[in-house]
Every structure is written in C-alpha cells, then in structure tokens.
C-alpha cells in the first residue's frame, strides 16, 4: 500500500491548488456524508449560523471557498465543519520545552484515508503550515507567530452538537498567536466529539485541553496525551489501542533527566508509540515534529523525512510504501523482523518544481469511509484521529 504525501504552497486566498484538492477528494467525502448513519446532518442554514456564531472570522474564507468550488448544498454544509459524521482514531503526542521547544506527534490511521497534503497557506494574512484534513481543516500545524497544535482522539463514544476537530484546529492556527489565546478559543468552540488538544508556542508555554461534547473543557499542564482523558471511558477501544500503556511510556520518558529533542523524536519512531497495524486503521502514517522557535516542521518515517519551514518551503511529492500485514492472524509477540516488514519500507522523493514528469500520480482514496462500516461497537478496532 502506498501513500503519496505532497507539500503544497498556495499563499493568499484558496485558489487553484485548493480547487485541485477539492476535486480530488470531494467525491469520497460526499460518499462518506451520504453513507452516514450515526450523526444526522444539519441543514445549511443551521450550519452557517453555527460557523458565524463560533468562528465568524472564517466566514470570508468559507464563502470564497464555496464560490471557488461551486459548492452545492451538501458541500457547503460540509465546508462549515459543523456536525460531521462521527469518527474515531488513535495518535500520540508530547511536548518538550527548555533549550528546545517542540511538539511531536504520531498520526495513526489507515494509509487510504488521509489527504496526504502539507499545505503552506496564508488565508487570513498569517502564514500557516498544516496537514490538511476535511479540505478546510487541519490535523496538526504551526503558524508563523510560533504557535503549534496537534490532536489525539479522546477515547469516548459520545457525539454531540459541535464542529469537527479539524476545523477547530484550523481556526486556532489562523487566528491565535499564543497558548493563552488558543486555549480561549478551544474552550469556547464546541467539539462534536472528544479530543485531546495540545498547544505550544515559541516561548515554551504549553497546555493540553480535553474537549468533550457533553462536559466542560478541562485545561491542564499535561505534556503528553494518547487516547483517553481523565479516565478510561471506552474500554474496548482502549484495550485495542493500548492507550494506557502508551501514556505510561510517555510519562516515564518525559520524566527522564537529560531527555533531549533528538531522543524524543527517535522514540516516536519505535514501539510502543510507532504502530504498524495499517490495515486495521492503526498504523503510524507519519511522525510530525513542530519547532515553533525556528519555524521548522519535520515529517518523518523510519526510512525518510521531509523538512519544511516558513523561510524555505519546497513543493514536493513523496511516495511512502507500506507493507500491510493482517495482525489479527498473529499470535503471541510479534518479532522485530516482522515489525520491520510492517513499517514503511521506503520513501521515494520527488520535487515537483524540478521533476514534474516523474511525479507519482495521486490516486483517489476512500477518505473517511470507516464511519460508514457500522456502529461504534464495531469500530472498536478501527481508530480515527
């Protein structure tokens, strides 16, 4: 299985590059929305009213984007980010501050179900580098003011009224500059599911916010999160993704005297943080390292990496190949040899500005069709964000 990961630069309002992404992924998003059986979609009037109420600063970009893609009713509702279908995921993240300030995260999901686009944009005048999701949203990112953000699934089945977390992440990146302003936004904007959001800025200040649709947000000083909040709520999910084990590992790691940035990043590329169950939706698709002091972001795989910055952002395409092994048929401990076979086996890099002829062709994925496969109980082994 292959994942194409593109670095795309488009400053100013969404334009031709955004339109390409929309045309590529909208058919799959449309299928996901139409097959939704868990969360009733709200009408366009309600969705736009929610966006205007909670994120009014996004309205100009929203309206411009709808016009750009000639959005119909369903697409216009989707692009508000309000009340999307329910979905779940994995992920781990940690903050290291001191001489180095960095936010490190593993994104665990299925290779077919990711846009695979690192986008440099300036939709509202502020430069942002973010991993695109839901077209107008983001999975993680950093802005030129030195604020970085990432998320992990909070491990709860409750679905309420609110926005999909990628749209909230995008809002924070577009309009916040410090941890203080980011936290104010996070506790104000309702999330339709439970997520753990960590923010850090170039001063070394950081906070983690537990968001839930049925509880008040919890703001704390946790320097790491996996896939639960204050306690285990969804036991089947927690057992599958080993959230407690990963959290305990990170706690011990961050407590070690002399832990440096290089060691922390290296650890995220190894068990138990690095996951290999790609076919089950729990494989580490990338490790992201955000360095807000330097304005630098790195994306890493066991056999390759990409480094981008606000000062030097190179448009390129990278093809990552994953060996998919069905771990359900395995018994006992998986050997180191088998783990190595399950990891991404190589990365082939292409700079689009210099090698357009050899650029791998992006194929249409089946983005986010996992939530249409059944109830939450059957999703216990299919993690999302």
- Measure Cα distances from 265 to 259, 261, 354 in Å: 11, 6, 30
Buried b (16+ CB within 10 A) or exposed e, 286-320: bbbbbbbeebbbbbbbbebbbebbbeebebbbbbb
pTM: 0.89
Average pLDDT over residues 231-254: 96
Look at residue 56 and tell me if it is in a domain. no
Mean pLDDT score across all residues of the chain: 87
Residue 364 lies in a domain: yes
Looking at residue 306, its pLDDT comes to: 95
The whole-number average pLDDT for the span 24-46 is: 88
Classify residue 271: in a domain, yes or no: yes
Question: How many CB atoms within 10 Å of residue 216?
Answer: 9
379 has a pLDDT exceeding 80? no
Q: Which two tokens stand for residue 195?
A: 């997520």
Q: Is residue 268 part of a domain?
A: yes
pLDDT confidence tier of residue 324, bands split at 50, 70 and 90:
low
Q: What is the mean pLDDT of residues 229-233?
A: 96
Higher-pLDDT residue of 379, 168? 168
pLDDT for residue 376:
33
What b-and-e string marks burial along 338-373, b requiring 16 or more CB atoms within 10 Å of the CB?
A: eeeebbbeebeebeeeeeeeebeebeebebbbbbbe
What pLDDT is attached to residue 334?
A: 36
Q: What percent of the chain is modeled with pLDDT above 90?
A: 74
Give a yes or no: residue 37 inside a domain. no
Tell me if 30 is assigned to some domain.
no
Q: Are 249 and 272 in contact (CB under 8 A)?
A: yes
Number of neighbouring beta carbons within 10 Å of residue 15 = 13
Number of domains forming the structure of the chain? 1
Instruction: Give a yes or no: residue 24 inside a domain.
Output: no
pLDDT at 373 over 50: no
Q: Quick one: pLDDT at residue 179?
A: 98
Q: Give the residue, 379 or 263, on which the prediction is more confident.
A: 263
pLDDT at res. 277:
86
Q: Burial-class residue 231 by CB neighbours within 10 Å (0-12, 13-18, 19+).
A: exposed
* Structure confidence at residue 87 (pLDDT): 78
- Split at pLDDT 50, 70, 90, the class of 363 is very low
DSSP 364: -
332 — pLDDT class (breaks 50, 70, 90): very low
Give percent above pLDDT 70 in the chain.
Answer: 83
Question: In this predicted structure, what is the pLDDT of residue 372?
Answer: 31
* Of the listed ranges 85-94, 320-329, 352-361, the one predicted with least confidence: 352-361
Q: Give the residue-averaged pLDDT of 196-200.
A: 98
Q: Where does the pLDDT of residue 303 fall: very low under 50, low under 70, confident under 90, or very high at 90 and above?
A: confident
Range of the domain at 325: 2-12+88-381
**200 vs 32, more confident:** 200
Contact 102, 294 (CB under 8 A): no
Residue 223 is assigned to a structural domain of this protein = yes
Alpha helices in the chain (DSSP H): 16-34, 44-54, 59-69, 73-80, 165-175, 179-188, 235-241, 243-255, 261-268, 336-342
Residue 295, token pair as written in the block: 């304005």
Mention every residue, 6+ apart, whose C-beta is less than 8 A from residue 341. Answer: 323, 325
Q: How far is CA 166 from CA 135, 303, 329, in A?
A: 9, 28, 34
Cβ–Cβ under 8 Å, residues 13 and 123: yes
Check which CATH number belongs to the domain holding 234 and give it.
3.60.60.10
Per-residue confidence (pLDDT) for residue 38, from 0 to 100? 67
pLDDT greater than 60 at residue 357: no
For 323-346, what is the mean pLDDT? 46
């Amino acid at each position: 299985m292959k994942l194409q990961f593109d670095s795309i630069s488009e400053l100013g309002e969404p334009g031709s590059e955004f339109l390409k992404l929309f045309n590529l992924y909208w058919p799959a998003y449309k299928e996901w929305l139409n097959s939704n059986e868990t969360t009733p979609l709200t009408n366009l009037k309600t969705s736009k009213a929610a966006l205007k109420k909670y994120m009014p600063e996004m309205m100009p970009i929203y309206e411009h984007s709808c016009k750009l893609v000639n959005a119909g009713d369903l697409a216009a509702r989707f692009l508000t980010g309000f009340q999307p279908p329910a979905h779940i995921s994995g992920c781990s993240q940690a903050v290291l501050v001191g001489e180095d300030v960095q936010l490190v995260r593993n994104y665990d999901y299925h290779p077919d179900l990711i846009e695979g686009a690192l986008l440099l944009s300036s939709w509202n005048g502020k430069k942002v580098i973010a991993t695109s999701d839901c077209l107008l949203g983001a999975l993680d990112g950093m802005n030129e003011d030195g604020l970085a953000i990432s998320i992990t699934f909070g491990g709860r089945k409750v679905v309420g009224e609110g926005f999909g977390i990628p749209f909230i992440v995008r809002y924070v990146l577009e309009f916040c500059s410090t941890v203080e302003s980011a936290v104010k936004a996070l506790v104000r904007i309702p999330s339709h599911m439970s997520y753990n959001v960590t923010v850090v800025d170039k001063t070394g200040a950081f906070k983690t916010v537990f968001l839930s649709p049925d509880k008040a947000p919890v703001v704390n000083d946790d320097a790491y999160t996996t896939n639960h909040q204050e306690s285990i709520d969804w036991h089947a999910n927690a057992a599958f993704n080993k959230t407690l084990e990963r959290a305990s590992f990170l706690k011990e790691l961050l407590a070690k005297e002399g832990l440096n940035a290089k060691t922390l990043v290296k650890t995220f590329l190894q068990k138990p943080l690095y996951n290999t169950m790609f076919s089950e939706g729990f494989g580490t698709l990338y490790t992201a390292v955000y360095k807000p002091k330097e304005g630098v972001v790195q994306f890493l795989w066991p056999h390759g990496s990409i480094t981008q910055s606000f000062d030097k952002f190179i448009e390129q395409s990278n093809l990552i190949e994953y060996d998919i092994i069905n771990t359900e048929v395995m018994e006992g401990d998986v050997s180191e040899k088998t783990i190595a076979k399950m990891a991404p086996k190589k990365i082939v890099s292409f700079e689009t500005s210099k090698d357009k002829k050899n650029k791998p062709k992006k194929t249409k994925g089946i983005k986010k069709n996992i939530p249409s496969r059944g109830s939450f109980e059957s999703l216990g082994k299919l993690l999302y964000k």
